[in-house]
Amino acid sequence: MEMISDVLQFIGVFVSFSIAYVAYHGVRRIHSSSLLRLTAAFVFLGFGFAVEGFVGLSQVISNLPFSTMAVVAGLLFETTGYFFLAFSHALDVMMSKRMGVALLIFPVISLSGAQLVDILSTLSFYFVLYGVVETVYSYARTRKPDTLLIAVGLAMISLGTFVQWLSLLYLNVDVLLLLQIIMKEIGLLILFTPVLNFAVGRVRLDGTI
Amino acid sequence: MVQYRTQVRIIADVLSTAKDMNTEGNGVGVTTLLRKGNMSYSRMSKLLSELVGSGLLTELNGDKISKYMISEKGTQFLTVYRQFEDFAQSFGLRL
């Protein structure tokens, strides 16, 4: 089961880097800072999934000992990615001079574990949750179906992150490990929709149609 | 609701005005751009010279006043801007 979840991490790598690739072309073409933050978010997420996938696979295939620091590094990349996503929304809130809906969700970080992995998972959960609330708010403003879809995708990722957090508490429940990665992968595949729209709309990244 | 605009958004707004208001094909005056662009004259003048310099706008010199017309490069920029605006909006973000 662990091998399946490790292989699934690489779907996350593909989706994250695809989104980062499209966003980066946007940065190059129109010099948008919002797209730069989106690029940063998905580059970090991609590296996070890659590190977690490689660490998991090296453990399963060759039973190599791996450093706890590698796991922490993977989670740190992932959390940084979610942070950039949340940060983009926070800046958007400040730009529009409105009160962020997600400010109502005050982060209550669990300090009981005192482990870096626990803290990073908790932070990821709050960052994605912030992204969900702001994206839903954005949908209420624009009524764009794609935005609602992305909100659903982010909600799946936040649920996955929550289950990942639970799996740290209930170490003997294997199904939680697989469930969290499946939820995250479904969420990431939903996030892939805007990239597909580029392909379906025959929009080439050099700007021509 | 008051909303700040990023530099790229302001450029897109000016280019859109230059494109949409140019109904007679002889360009758009600074007054129209100022009214639609919602910014000061000094800031608009600086921006217009930058846009002309980068080839996004074409300056048409009349007898007394200059008029501005969107160039081919400007139209391409607007098309690409709208595509990426759509992409960013999908993530609930504004450009």
Interface membership of B79 toward A (CB under 8 Å):
yes
Q: Give the model confidence (pLDDT) of A155-173 as tens digits.
A: 998 888 888 777 767 766 6
Burial (CB count <10 Å: 0-12, 13-18, 19+), residue B70: buried
Entry pTM:
0.80
Specify the DSSP class assigned to residue B56.
S
Angle, in degrees to the nearest 10, between helices B72-90 and A2-30: 150
Asked if residue A3 has pLDDT above 90, the reply is no
Q: Give the model confidence (pLDDT) of A116-127 as tens digits.
A: 777 777 788 888
Q: Residue B39's pLDDT is what? A: 84
Q: Write out chain B residues lying below 8 Å of A197, CB-based.
A: 86-87, 90
Per the domain annotation, does B56 fall within a domain? yes
- Gap between the terminal Cα atoms of chain A: 44
Ramachandran class of A114: left when φ > 0, alpha when ψ lies in -120 to 50, beta otherwise:
left
Q: How confident is the model at residue B55 (pLDDT cuts 50, 70, 90)?
A: very high
Structure tokens, A101: 């809906």
Secondary structure of A145-194 in HEC code, one letter for each residue: HHHHHHHHHHHHHHHHHHHHHHHHHCCCCHHHHHHHHHHHHHHHHHHCHH
- pLDDT above 70 covers a percentage of chain A that reads 78
Q: Residue A58's pLDDT is what? A: 77
Per the domain annotation, does B95 fall within a domain? no
Q: Write out chain B residues lying below 8 Å of A101, CB-based.
A: none
Interface of A with B in 81-100 (CB under 8 A): 85, 88-89, 92, 95-98
Containing domain of residue B32, as a range? Answer: 7-89
Q: Residue B72's pLDDT is what? A: 92
Per the domain annotation, does B1 fall within a domain? no
Specify the DSSP class assigned to residue B59.
E
Q: Give the model confidence (pLDDT) of B73-95 as tens digits.
A: 999 999 999 989 888 888 888 88
Interface membership of A116 toward B (CB under 8 Å):
no
The CATH number of residue B71's host domain is 1.10.10.10
User: What average pLDDT score do residues A39-65 get?
Assistant: 82
Q: How confident is the model at residue A23 (pLDDT cuts 50, 70, 90)?
A: very high
| One-letter identity of residue B81 | Y
Per the domain annotation, does B39 fall within a domain? yes
Q: Give the model confidence (pLDDT) of B22-34 as tens digits.
A: 877 788 888 888 8
As a whole number, the mean pLDDT across chain A is 78
Per the domain annotation, does B72 fall within a domain? yes
**Candidate ranges A65-69, A137-141, B68-72; pick with highest mean pLDDT:** B68-72
Number of domains, chain B? 1
Domain ranges of chain A: 2-200
User: What average pLDDT score do residues B19-24 get?
Assistant: 84
B50-56 long-range contacts (CB < 8 A, ≥24 apart) are B51/B11, B51/B14, B51/B15, B56/B11, B56/B15
Asked if residue B8 has pLDDT above 80, the reply is yes
Asked if residue A44 has pLDDT above 70, the reply is yes
Q: How confident is the model at residue A42 (pLDDT cuts 50, 70, 90)?
A: very high
User: What average pLDDT score do residues A78-83 get?
Assistant: 89
Separation CA A40–CA A94 (nearest Å) = 20
Asked if residue A94 has pLDDT above 60, the reply is yes
Asked if residue A81 has pLDDT above 60, the reply is yes
